[in-house]
Amino acid sequence: MIAQQNVPPSNDRTFRIDKATPADTADLHTLIAGLAEYERLTEICVATQHDLDAALFGEHRCAEALIARVDTNLQEAAGFALFFHTYSTFLGRRSLWLEDLFVRPEHRRRGLGRRFLETLAALAVERNCGRFEWSVLDWNTPAIRFYESLGASLLTDWRIARVTGNALPRLAGNALSVAFEDRSSHA
């Protein structure tokens, strides 16, 4: 269970981390846009608030999120972490995958990123996950140093493979209708 987390004061501000609710969708969407800008990926950030709401809170939810707010008024969103489960065939257990972690620049270096990661690591332990993973852009050396200081290992021999856009249906070809055909009707 994700419990409310208070981050100790720094520069006269404290933060509170909570499990995101549907009321947080607009702020999460704004934070995602901030992340896309920081990562220089605004041209591929096309998710709408509706997409996000459906993914986090809809009938077929596929992810969860934490949101941090400035504790003085709980109105200002300071950062977020969006995550979901994967499965390790080698470990025979599910894993926790951190898709995105973002703290607004004015709130960095106050322990908030560390607190997000600690909270997610605790959740992974609570959910009996075999590992907790995420990716980091190779040019983001401050984040790489930070993650390594927490004990994370960078897997330099792995690369992310991605099929997107027109390449996805092209790869799928006719297989989609065959692969997921209801086989019970053939009995």
Q: Has residue 83 been placed in a domain? A: yes
Q: Has residue 187 been placed in a domain? A: no
pLDDT, tens digit (0-9, with 9 covering 90-100), for 102-120 = 999 999 999 999 999 999 9
Q: What is the pLDDT of residue 75?
A: 85
Query: Any idea what the CATH number is for the domain that residue 15 is in?
Result: 3.40.630.30
Strand (E) or helix (H) holding 46? none
d(CA 126, CA 118): 12
pLDDT, tens digit (0-9, with 9 covering 90-100), for 155-184 = 999 989 999 999 999 999 877 665 556 555
Q: What is the pLDDT of residue 5?
A: 57
Tokens of 161: 């493979």
Q: Would you give the DSSP letter of residue 107?
A: G
Identify the weakest region by mean pLDDT among 1-5, 7-11, 60-64, 179-183: 7-11
Q: Has residue 10 been placed in a domain? A: yes
Q: How many CA atoms lie within 13 A of 73 on its CB side?
A: 4
What domain range includes position 60?
5-156
Alpha-helix runs per DSSP H in 3-107 = 25-38, 49-57
Strand (E) or helix (H) holding 9? strand 5-10
pLDDT, tens digit (0-9, with 9 covering 90-100), for 133-155 = 999 989 999 999 999 999 999 99
Tokens of 166: 């027109």
Residue 23 has pLDDT above 80, yes or no: yes
d(CA 101, CA 135): 10
Collect contacts of 45-49 with beta carbons under 8 A, ≥24 apart: 49/25
> What sign for the dihedral angle of Cα 49, 1, 62, 140?
positive
Q: Has residue 181 been placed in a domain? A: no
Average pLDDT over residues 20-33: 98
Residue 6 has pLDDT above 90, yes or no: no
> How many independent structural domains does the chain possess?
1
Q: Has residue 171 been placed in a domain? A: no
Confidence of residue 9 (pLDDT cuts 50, 70, 90): very low
Q: Has residue 172 been placed in a domain? A: no
d(CA 64, CA 62): 7
pLDDT, tens digit (0-9, with 9 covering 90-100), for 53-106 = 999 999 999 999 999 999 767 789 999 999 999 999 999 999 999 999 999 999
